[in-house]
Amino acid sequence: MNISIIIPTKNAYDKLKITLSSLAVQTYRNFECIIMDNLSSDDTQSLVSQYQNDIPNLVLYCSQDEGIYDAMNKGVSYATGEYILFMGASDTLHSPDILAQVNDTLTHQTPDVLYGDIIYLPNQYISQPPALSNRYFKSGKMICHQSIFARKETLDNYPFHLDYPFGADRDWLIHTFRDQNTFVHIPVAIAVYDTSGYTSLAVNHKAVWMESGKILRKYYGFLMLPITFIKYYLVIKWQKR
């Protein structure tokens, strides 16, 4: 099973090195790694060259993008794998055999989306539900894209919407779920997620909440769970202050 791993990056030499190091030790080798670089001015290109012998099918594309999700969409257009995983610079795969475990699962099952658990740095294990539901999404919960292997055609059919610079993955996930695609959960930690990323920065929290509320209203109107409605309503009021 060929897997594509797409990593958007810009001037993140040290963080990207951490991610590439975790890919280099994977026991499963039938994967490609696509680096979508937004015209970095650091030594990203030389770093990628250093890992050419350690990571099969490591490719670097350098072009200006309109944000992380634009880079991810472009990466999908280049990908040749049947399933795609998105990672951020400094995210790591949880163990050297995680791709082997995923491949074994996909050998016996072929869902549109395979998702697993996630670890937030420094050591917070987040177990995902074995089955997803509208109630899960209405509550405001979300599955990190670092723990999702999506069939390429699901991303071709519904790319990330650039109108949501902080939450396009939330929009994609809810749309894909409501569009009757099949989901399978694998009860292992897929990745270790660096919570210092773009959407996790404190300066962006207000915008993230505003956008998340907008996406939930798009799909569920005001039928989201009462506590979730109150939570987003308070953030909106805060935004207007």
**What pLDDT digit, counting tens, does each position of 147-171 carry?**
999 999 999 999 999 999 999 999 9
* Mean residue pLDDT across the chain: 90
112 close to 182: Cβ distance less than 8 angstroms = yes
* 135 sits in which H/E element: helix 134-138
Q: Residue 27 above 80 pLDDT?
A: yes
Q: Which domains does the chain show, CATH number per domain? A: 3-200 (3.90.550.10)
Query: Residue 149 and residue 74: Cα distance in Å, rounded?
Result: 17
By residue count, the chain amounts to 241
Q: Which amino acid is residue 173, in one-letter code?
A: L
